[in-house]
Amino acid sequence: MSVLGRVVRSGVGRRRVQTLVIGLTMTMAVTAAVLGGSLLVASSAPFDHAFAREHGAHLSVQFDARRATAARLSASADAPGVAEASGPFGTATVTPHTDIEGMGGGMDGGIDGVPMTVVGRAEPHTGVDLVALTEGRWAERPGEIVISDGSQPFPSLGRRLTFPALPGGPTLKVVGLARSASRTGDAWVVPAQIAALTPHGRGAGYEMLYRLTTADTAARVAAGRRAVTAVVPAGAVSGAQSWLTVKKAADRETALFVPFLLAFGVLGLVMSVLIVGNVVAGTVGAGLRRIGILKAIGFTPHQVVRAYVGQALVPAAIGTALGVVAGHLATVPVLSETANVYGTGGLAVAPWVDIAAVAGALGLVAVTAWAAAWRAGRLRTVDALAVGRTPSPGRGRRAGRVSALLPFPRPVGLGLARPFARPARSAAMGAAIVFGTVAVTFAVGLSSSLAEVMEARAHDAADVTVGVSGPRNSMAPGAKSQGAENQDGESPGAKTQGAKNPSAQAPGAAKETEADPAAITAAIDSQPGTGKYYGIATTQATVSGAAGVISVVAFTGDASWGGYDMVSGRWIEGPGEAVVPTPFLTATDTRVGDTVTLNDHGTAVTVRIVGEVLDTHHQGMEVFTDRVTLAAAEPDLQVESHHIAVKAGTDVAAYTDRLNTALRPLGVTAENGRVGNNSGTVAVLNSLTAVLTLMLVAVAGLGVLNGVVLDTRERVRDLGIHKALGMTPRQTVVMVVTSVVMTGLVGGAVGVPLGVALHGWIMPAMGHSAGLNLPESVIAVYRTPELVLLALGGLLIAVLGALPPAGWAARTRSAVALRTE
């Protein structure tokens, strides 16, 4: 082995603690970098990537099976502009009933789902639209069904779906959960199953999936649709969906979360760079005396640099390798959850993320070590020896004198003065704490904000909701519908949330039952404990200046308490007034105070916009108004649900039971209004937040750990003196931990406002990405006690980082310490 090699080996072996810290730091930093980089990659056009990966359908067309044969439809694959096609797949639209007990949603203990399009498809991974299985397996025989992840309430493997409205009431077992980027179906069965899911009197449908030679604009997709339509019998096309429509909906959904994950990714990368640089520079800097000795025995500055770069790279390489492994272990579940958020499947760590993380980390170590060693190598030998023996005694003396006067036990005073003796090191530790505190503050704020957004989206302030008509009213809270585009233009990606979320009903959904509204309100009025309530009716209209159909939600009674968060303006106070979401204002180029004219069933209805409300259903193309506003246009518009707030002190469950008893003869049910709101997404984001925050806090803690390790190693002689004078282990721990208390407090005090500022910048950006202005309730989520606790979080990071070296300092034997100069 060469002399240089021996020096490197002995340096690595002798300085085990610092070697360990470099290795550990690199492990954490590379883990954070792989995770952060993967999140950045996953957050970059998630739909486009999923669509490309799954060979998505540019155009999916539904056909009426009574008007076209499968053979004719197969021939449409040769239509002009069609590059590839799959199908025809048999389809059926059905409403399932799940076997969940005790959910309180159905009459018999189970719950009804939302209508869904079931596709008969034998093989998910061939042709166009490669459906990605997220759990379980594909349907292999009749009696099995694969559900689109998130399309039904409480989807899970093994659950049984029954279809009581169908002949023979077939039952299917859920054997898999899957995602289709093209969203070409809500569920899949084997082709032979479709016949059993086709109701009497209705013809079965077919679905064809096409990839077009050019499909980058709506006009080109429309041309493809025309070409397909031209080769099939007239009237055979019953519906069609452009991938651009799906993309728009998907992008709008994911846009809300992209800045959130981007922010964490960037924070992870920045912290990795900061901590690695800090650790390596500090470690090399701590070896000044050894460098002086090497120079004294004849090492050239170049050899010193090479020796120290090598000495840093050995543990760094091991740490990096471990970091890649740990990064994958940490990233896979996070990406899985990210895929849930983005509604895509199969996210994986991109190989170039690994390569970039490894190259970046080792490059950073090499450069930092080179710079620090170069500086040391250029020092005069005598200076290096002198500097390395003890820290400059001139620094921090004033702080030391002041600390001696403080009314604290002496170990506390000694610790408090310590940061002033090594200001640069303290600043580096402070920076790590600042980043850690920023991350925690940001995460806490985002979590609160997302909860607010979800609550605001759900409009579920009511204690009890009574569904009156239609399948929507018996649907469980939190359910999402991802069906194919229907005739009224509702996008497949739009979420519907049942009775608690009345505005979200799929337009055109059949209203299967009708109950007497007056009898229902009479039953509600007669119930003891009824506080206030309002009713909701929905309809559709067009609006001047905007293309397509919009959803109109009409209220009876005051709904201002119903969970409609105002962004600006005020809630409706009477007929002729309306509140609308931000996308509506954007699409119609209007603002609060303007008037718009709705065309409701041929009647022009003019409303004045009095407020901007947070709402994301129907892509924000909704109008909320009083039912009287629509009286002229739709005098028979029926209330579809009632939303009740009970009086204070009323037992909601007992109230609901009593009300259900009263309502049973009317064929409608009441359910608790606050069962949950999109809790799945919130849970995913909260768990993502927790994982990412923990990671960043750990990296920050390592930054502190390294600083304190260097400090205690450097001051081991002083420690020995203290102990020889009678400093107990506990006093030693107190002194070492106290040395980071001020840094922790200052880091926390600086980090919290920065975290709040970052949150204040990211949240509106998240909203704007989704085309929304967010109300103050979503952005101003921090409370003073919470901020104080978060600031103390900086102290906690500092103390946790300082405890291991403090323990080491406490255990060091005085005799050993005094010998270690």
Partner 1 sequence: MTTPLIELCEVSRKYDDGPPALHDTSLTVRAGEAVAILGPSGSGKSTLLNLIAGLDRPDTGTVTVDGVRVDGLGEAASARYRRDRIGMVFQFFNLLDDLTVADNVVLSAQLAGMPRGEARRRAAELLGTLGVDRHARAYPGRLSGGERQRVAVARALMNRPPLLLADEPTGALDSASGEEVGALLTDLNADGQTIVVVTHDPALARSCTSRTVRLVDGRITEDVRPEAVR
**Cβ(500)–Cβ(465) below 8 Å:** yes
Least spacing, CB of residue 720 vs partner 1, in Å: 8
Of 72, 160, 717, 768, the residue at the interface with partner 1 (CB under 8 A) is: 717
Least spacing, CB of residue 708 vs partner 1, in Å: 17
**Among candidate residues 56, 61, 85, the one with its CA nearest the CA of residue 230:** 61
Joined tokens for residue 555: 């209220």
**Cβ(744)–Cβ(697) below 8 Å:** no
Joined tokens for residue 515: 């109950």
Q: Does 720 bind partner 1 (CB under 8 A)?
A: yes
**Among candidate residues 210, 200, 214, the one with its CA nearest the CA of residue 232:** 210
Of 125, 570, 647, 730, the residue at the interface with partner 1 (CB under 8 A) is: 730
The C-alpha angle 236, 242, 244, rounded to 5 degrees, equals 170
Joined tokens for residue 816: 């050993």
Q: Does 409 bind partner 1 (CB under 8 A)?
A: yes
> Binding to partner 1 (CB under 8 A): which residues in 416-455?
417, 421
Of 87, 345, 411, 498, the residue at the interface with partner 1 (CB under 8 A) is: 411
Of 164, 239, 531, 729, the residue at the interface with partner 1 (CB under 8 A) is: 729
Of 53, 173, 410, 768, the residue at the interface with partner 1 (CB under 8 A) is: 410
Where does 95-186 show beta strands of DSSP type E?
A: 97-98, 111-112, 116-120, 132-136, 144-148, 160-162, 171-179
Least spacing, CB of residue 388 vs partner 1, in Å: 15
Q: Is 179 left (phi over 0), alpha (psi -120 to 50) or beta?
A: beta
Between 394 and 635, CB nearer to partner 1: 394
Between 482 and 738, CB nearer to partner 1: 738
**Among candidate residues 475, 507, 513, 512, the one with its CA nearest the CA of residue 494:** 507
Between 296 and 404, CB nearer to partner 1: 404
Q: Does 397 bind partner 1 (CB under 8 A)?
A: yes
Q: How many CB atoms lie within 10 A of CB 218?
A: 12
Stretch that binds partner 1, among 116-124, 253-261, 489-497, 729-737 (CB under 8 A): 729-737
SS3 of residue 530 by DSSP? strand
Burial 13-50 (b: 16+ CB within 10 A, else e): eebebbbebbbbbbbbbbbbbbbbbbbbbbbeebbebb
Q: Is 161 left (phi over 0), alpha (psi -120 to 50) or beta?
A: beta
Least spacing, CB of residue 421 vs partner 1, in Å: 6
Least spacing, CB of residue 16 vs partner 1, in Å: 17
Of 137, 302, 783, 813, the residue at the interface with partner 1 (CB under 8 A) is: 813
Can you tell me the distance from the alpha carbon of 797 to that of 430, in angstroms, rounded to the nearest whole number?
10
Q: Does 722 bind partner 1 (CB under 8 A)?
A: yes
CB under 8 A, 24+ apart: contacts of 630-636: 630/539, 630/552, 630/554, 630/600, 630/605, 631/575, 632/603, 632/605, 633/541, 633/598, 633/600, 633/601, 633/602, 633/603, 633/605, 634/539, 634/600, 634/601, 634/603
Least spacing, CB of residue 614 vs partner 1, in Å: 58
Q: Does 814 bind partner 1 (CB under 8 A)?
A: yes
Q: Does 396 bind partner 1 (CB under 8 A)?
A: yes
Q: Does 718 bind partner 1 (CB under 8 A)?
A: yes
Between 157 and 386, CB nearer to partner 1: 386
**Cβ(614)–Cβ(581) below 8 Å:** yes
> Binding to partner 1 (CB under 8 A): which residues in 502-541?
none
Q: Does 771 bind partner 1 (CB under 8 A)?
A: no
Least spacing, CB of residue 354 vs partner 1, in Å: 44
In sequence order, what are the residues at sequence separation of 6 or more whose Cβ sits closer than 8 angstroms to the Cβ of residue 339?
A: 42, 134, 179, 345, 346, 347
Stretch that binds partner 1, among 241-249, 393-401, 743-751, 788-796 (CB under 8 A): 393-401
Least spacing, CB of residue 19 vs partner 1, in Å: 22
Between 591 and 819, CB nearer to partner 1: 819
Q: Does 809 bind partner 1 (CB under 8 A)?
A: no
Report the residue count for the chain.
821
From residue 58 to residue 77, the character string flagging contacts with partner 1 as x (rule: CB under 8 A) and all else as - is --------------------
Of 102, 298, 351, 393, the residue at the interface with partner 1 (CB under 8 A) is: 393
Can you tell me the distance from the alpha carbon of 764 to that of 453, in angstroms, rounded to the nearest whole number?
12
Q: Does 810 bind partner 1 (CB under 8 A)?
A: yes
Residues making contact with partner 1 (CB under 8 A) = 390, 393, 395-397, 400-401, 404, 409-411, 417, 421, 717-718, 720-731, 810-811, 813-815, 818
